[in-house]
């Protein structure tokens, strides 16, 4: 039986060198290292690409939609404000302004011979033009009011007569304004003088506070008012008390130098009175106004300056809440504006 041959010295030397090299490199001997797999799986590669510019959400389309919405909301709130700030008549005028309208006032049934043989009327017939004052729609406003040009009743705004009329009206307005301003200054002076004269007269100390001055559309109204403790006239009579006569005398002194016309009005309260002559508050107020006029005339007021003497009974009370208030009995002396005389 054959035996295995012993290794030669060269083979043993090579094996020893290989073992020493493996031990020095920290690796297992060559025969102990496993061979790598023949083929390994590759990992997936992800590539992220960023497009240039903004995306769809960052574009300008939304701005247009927002602008449309804001415009619509503004128009809506403007409409609501107009509806709340106008009355029915004003809203109807606005609606009529935007109402579509034809230039012709002839109905369509009367056009093109439809109402008989050749009996129709043309749409440009002058009778169909809106001459009346009901022009409200835009198309109607474009239609001329006069086919023959300016006339006496419808002058041109640039005509000489129109300019003269405008200048005349302006002068009249300025004259009235200047006249009223002068009258107002005169009224201030009159009020001041009357108050000073009443304060300077000791006999009128009790009644000086019963004179009031009121400005109205006619001029300056001087009210001489009764009170519970003093009356210009005894109840139911037309005879002035002595203090009332002195009071009217002081007022007449201030009125004497003024050229303004004067009206006198008598007032009573609602209390009735019994008398044999059958008089009532109407006749009593008128008679007291006439007594006042006569007293003013005796104290220097010329008769031609009086333009109106009237009695209104209890129809214009000083205190509407109490018709029987003594202050409702009074005499009103109105110094009128000059242009209203």
Q: Is residue 267 part of a domain?
A: yes
Q: How confident is the model at residue 143 (pLDDT cuts 50, 70, 90)?
A: very low
Asked if 190 contacts 255 with a C-beta cutoff of 8 angstroms, the reply is: yes
Extract the tokens encoding 14.
């090579």
pLDDT at 104 (0 to 100)? 47
Q: Is residue 329 part of a domain?
A: yes
Q: How confident is the model at residue 263 (pLDDT cuts 50, 70, 90)?
A: very high
Q: Is residue 35 part of a domain?
A: no
Phi first, then psi, for residue 132 (nearest 5°) are: -75, 175
pLDDT at 23 (0 to 100)? 64
Span 78-115, pLDDT tens digits: 989 988 888 888 888 878 777 765 544 445 444 444 44
Q: Is residue 245 part of a domain?
A: yes
Domain extent for 245: 181-336
**Per-residue pLDDT averaged across 238-261, rounded?**
88
Q: Is residue 188 part of a domain?
A: yes
Which range, 11-25, 113-127, 144-158, 301-315, is most confident?
A: 301-315
CATH of the domain at 197: 3.30.1330.60
Q: Is residue 323 part of a domain?
A: yes
Q: How many CB atoms lie within 10 A of CB 105?
A: 16
Straight-line distance from the first to the last Cα atom of the chain, in angstroms, rounded to the nearest whole number: 174
Q: Is residue 218 part of a domain?
A: yes
pLDDT at 95 (0 to 100)? 80
Span 32-43, pLDDT tens digits: 545 555 556 678
Q: Is residue 44 part of a domain?
A: no
Whether pLDDT at 227 is above 50: yes
Q: How confident is the model at residue 142 (pLDDT cuts 50, 70, 90)?
A: very low
Asked if 337 contacts 219 with a C-beta cutoff of 8 angstroms, the reply is: yes
Asked if 111 contacts 85 with a C-beta cutoff of 8 angstroms, the reply is: no
Place of tokens 């023959």: 148
Whether pLDDT at 196 is above 50: yes
When divided into structural domains, the chain yields a total of: 1
pLDDT at 278 (0 to 100)? 75
The residue ranking higher by pLDDT, 154 or 306, is 306
**pTM of model > 0.75:** no
Q: How confident is the model at residue 340 (pLDDT cuts 50, 70, 90)?
A: low
């Amino acid at each position: 039986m054959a035996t295995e041959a012993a290794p030669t010295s060269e083979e043993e030397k090579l094996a020893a060198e290989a073992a020493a090299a493996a031990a020095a490199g920290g690796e297992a001997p060559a025969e102990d290292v496993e061979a790598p797999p023949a083929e390994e799986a590759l990992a997936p590669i992800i590539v992220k690409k960023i497009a240039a510019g903004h995306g769809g959400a960052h574009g300008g389309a939304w701005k247009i939609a927002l602008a449309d919405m804001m415009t619509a909301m503004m128009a809506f709130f403007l409409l609501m404000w107009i509806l709340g700030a106008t009355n029915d008549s004003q809203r109807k005028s606005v609606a009529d302004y935007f109402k579509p309208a034809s230039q012709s006032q002839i109905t369509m049934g009367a056009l093109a011979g439809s109402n008989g043989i050749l009996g129709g009327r043309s749409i440009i017939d002058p009778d169909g033009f809106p001459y009346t004052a009901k022009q409200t729609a835009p198309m109607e406003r474009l239609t001329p009011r006069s086919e023959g040009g300016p006339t006496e009743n419808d002058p041109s705004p640039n005509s000489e007569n129109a300019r003269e009329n405008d200048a005349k009206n302006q002068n009249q307005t300025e004259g009235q304004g200047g006249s009223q301003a002068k009258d107002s200054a005169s009224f201030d002076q009159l009020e001041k003088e009357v108050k000073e004269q009443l304060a300077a007269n000791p006999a009128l100390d009790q009644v000086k506070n019963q004179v009031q001055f009121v400005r109205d559309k006619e001029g300056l109204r001087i009210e001489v008012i009764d009170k519970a403790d003093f009356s210009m006239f005894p109840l139911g009579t037309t005879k002035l008390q002595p203090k009332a006569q002195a009071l009217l005398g002081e007022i007449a002194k201030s009125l004497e130098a003024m050229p303004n016309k004067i009206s006198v009005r008598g007032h009573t309260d609602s209390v009735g009175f019994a008398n044999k002559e059958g008089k009532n508050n109407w006749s009593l107020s008128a008679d007291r106004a006439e007594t006042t006029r006569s007293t003013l005339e005796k104290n220097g007021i010329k008769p031609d300056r009086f333009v109106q003497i009237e009695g209104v009974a209890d129809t214009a009370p000083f205190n509407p809440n109490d018709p029987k208030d003594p202050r409702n009995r009074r005499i009103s002396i109105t110094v009128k504006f000059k242009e209203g005389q």
